[in-house]
Amino acid sequence: MVLSDENDNIRYTKYLPNKGKPLNIFKDILLEIYKINPNVNICGSCSTGYGEDLIKNAFSLDDGLVETMAHFKAAKKFKPDVDFIIDIGGQDIKCFKIENGVISNIFLNEACSSGCGSFLQTFSNALGYDIAYFAKLGLLAKKPVDLGSRCTVFMNSSVKQAQKDGATIDNISAGLSMSVVKNAIYKVIRISVPSELGKNIVVQGGTFYNEAVLRAFEKELKVNVTRPNIAGLSGAYGACLHAKSLKLEKSSILTKEEIENFSYKSLSFNCNGCSNHCPLNVNTFSNGKKFISGNKCEKPLSKKVVDDDLNIYHFIQEKLMSYKPMENSSRGKIGLPLVLNMYELFPFWYTFFTSLGFEVHNSGLSSAKIYVKGQQSIPSDTVCYPAKLVHGHIIKLIEEGYQTIFYPCMSYNINEGISDNNYNCPIVAYYPETIINNVEEVKKINFIRDYLPIANSKIFEKKIIEILNYRIGGFNKKDIHKATILAYKEYNQYLNDIRNKAQEIILKAREKNKLIFVLAGRPYHVDPEINHGIDKLISGFNVAIISEDSISHLNKKFATNVLNQWTYHARLYSAAKFVSNNDDMNLIQLVSFGCGLDAITTDETKKLLESHDKIYTQIKIDEITNLGAVKIRIRSLLEALKSKEK
């Protein structure tokens, strides 16, 4: 807790653990403030951190501020030109890269609290020392023990071995401080050279009260850093500065009498609103308000009305599902997996095979159950999740009784004239080969996986009739020609519908003065299992969403710093170029874990956006399972955009 006056001078602080009862402790702190100064006039109040919403709702605070922005505000107060912030707390490590005055990247420890303040606390207690004295010993050590930066479990063994080897407590303390620093630098931030961090570094968090950790950090990076003397209170002080910026004459925070009478009740249960079955905590306060926490989705709690009409992902999903199979077709049923490039090309293949007399079915949108169906046949754990899903989609079609499944290899995509070439990435192009070699069930059916050149319609006609007559039989050139014309026409119409919808969304968003986000990735990223509903989450922030393929055609081919030869990546570059020239647009790039081409794409996209003073934001698909963390990222981005506008 931090209380400051109108000149930002700190008048009161409190730094202590919440002991699992933050509401009770917050109540006691407020009463203590009123006891010290009964006539205090609180003009603004703000909470931040893990209990931000709980405290805000319980005590009627004026605002809540996402933790990243709170730490940023505090750092700027002490060093206006700060370009890197590292906060090491008791349980987590947070690092922020600042470029052009806004947060451009965030690094968080992903696994456990090893390497944080609790790590040192644990060892000082185990060795029988007070943490303050233990830290002082480490600061004066002459030969720190090299303990590495491993997990606490393994570090125990290292410390015991060091003791057996005759290491003194001061050198062990110094070694542990070095371990905290190395964990932050090489496991969380993952830098290769110190200059990557920047020149104006501010360190925050209670762990930096430890002089040994501070000195270890400076020695490891060979730089001097700024540590405010309120390092552990930085988040609270940043929230305090934000509360002042609200410019209120009087805060809405509970009065002294209301605080004295404050009480609450908690009830826990599992929500049955959807298949998540989230464990919810319902807090009912004496002032009649309620706060519900524990939800992983917006569905049961949010009063927001998400406008699906301004979400192109929703439009594309419905568009794909609108292609219904023609029953009682003359040639019977054929199954198409809705995966990778087949996602976007489904309208093409649906029209082509329907014209030839097939009843065309797809495998539907992905789900965790579909993934599990094919899990045992995935040969490599490093391949991206969208590719792993292919196995389950194929198994699903076979289980549903389809004796003919069409899933061709395609080195090239259709040439859109925006790149040096029009390749599919190797995974997209040749994954049918992986299926035939790893899914035993496909050997019992007619699995059509032949190589097809879709970029040239004449060559396509010649090749497809050979394949179908070999695999099925009974096709003539006239029918194939007719089906080909209809397929290309429908594919172009499908793309036009998406592009027209994007323009409609842009116009409506501008009429309503809403920000427009290009949620950019590949066509299959609109699959809700792959994107984990991130489009819905972002829509909940009252913004409009369009996709990279809905605007990429608006740019002609232009020079890039890479060999621009992948269709999906070329769309992303083109979309980034378009966004850079529109003030009300921003781009979020979705990246698939395991895709080696993403590093190249990321660098080029970043350059295209930052060259026009745009904030670049990337979210990895595997991170989206933690929607809370993603929500923080989006909120931080929106805060950054607001501060940029000011």
3-state secondary structure 85-115: EEEECCCCEEEEEEECCEEEEEEECCCCCCC
Chain mean position to CA 271: 25
Q: Which residue has the tokens 């920047």?
A: 198
Distance CA 638, CA 262 (A): 34
State the pTM of this model: 0.70
Distance CA 241, CA 45 (A): 9
Q: Which residues contact 100 (CB under 8 A, 6 or more apart)?
A: 613, 644
Distance CA 567, CA 575 (A): 12
Closest to 256 (Cα-Cα) out of 46, 60, 30: 30
Element (H, E) at 65: strand 63-65
Give the per-residue pLDDT at 52. 87
Enter the DSSP assignment of 378.
Answer: -
Helices (H), 540-624: 567-580, 598-610
> CATH topology of 1-79+230-262 equal to that of 81-225?
yes
The angle that helices 152-164 and 117-126 make with each other, rounded to 10 degrees, is 40
- The CB-based long-range contact list for 312-317 (8 Å cut-off, 24+ gap) reads 312/498, 312/501, 312/502, 312/505, 312/545, 312/546, 312/547, 312/550, 313/519, 313/526, 313/531, 313/535, 313/545, 313/547, 314/535, 315/498, 315/501, 316/498, 316/526, 316/547, 317/365, 317/526, 317/528
Closest to 390 (Cα-Cα) out of 379, 406, 374: 374
Q: How far apart are the first and last CA of the chain?
A: 28
Give the per-residue pLDDT at 491. 95
Rounded to 5°, the CA angle 179-180-184 comes to 110
Q: Which residue has the tokens 């305090």?
A: 240
Q: What's the count of helices (H) and strands (E) in the chain, helices before strands?
A: 22, 19
SS3 380: coil
Do the Cβ atoms of 404 and 357 come closer than 8 Å? no
Averaged pLDDT in 10-residue chunks for the chain of 646 residues: 93 85 91 91 92 89 89 91 85 80 74 59 74 76 74 65 78 80 75 76 86 85 88 92 93 91 86 69 84 65 65 93 88 93 94 94 91 89 87 94 94 89 89 93 93 92 94 92 95 95 94 91 89 84 91 87 87 90 87 66 80 74 60 72 62
Give the per-residue pLDDT at 191. 73
Give the per-residue pLDDT at 113. 47
CATH of range 1-79+230-262; options 3.30.420.40, 3.50.50.60, 3.40.190.10, 3.30.70.260:
3.30.420.40
SS3 353: helix
Evaluated on CA atoms 130, 135, 138, 140, the torsion sign reads: negative
Give the per-residue pLDDT at 243. 95
The upper half-sphere exposure of residue 184, i.e. CA atoms within 13 Å in the direction of its Cβ, equals: 35
CATH of range 500-645; options 3.30.460.10, 3.40.1160.10, 3.20.20.70, 3.40.50.11890:
3.40.50.11890
Amino acid identity of residue 360, one-letter, is V
Q: Which residue has the tokens 């706060």?
A: 291
Tokens of 11: 């008048």
CATH of range 81-225; options 3.30.420.40, 3.40.50.920, 3.50.50.60, 3.90.1150.10:
3.30.420.40
> Could you tell me the residue ranges of all domains in the chain?
1-79+230-262, 81-225, 314-494, 500-645
Evaluated on CA atoms 476, 477, 480, 486, the torsion sign reads: negative
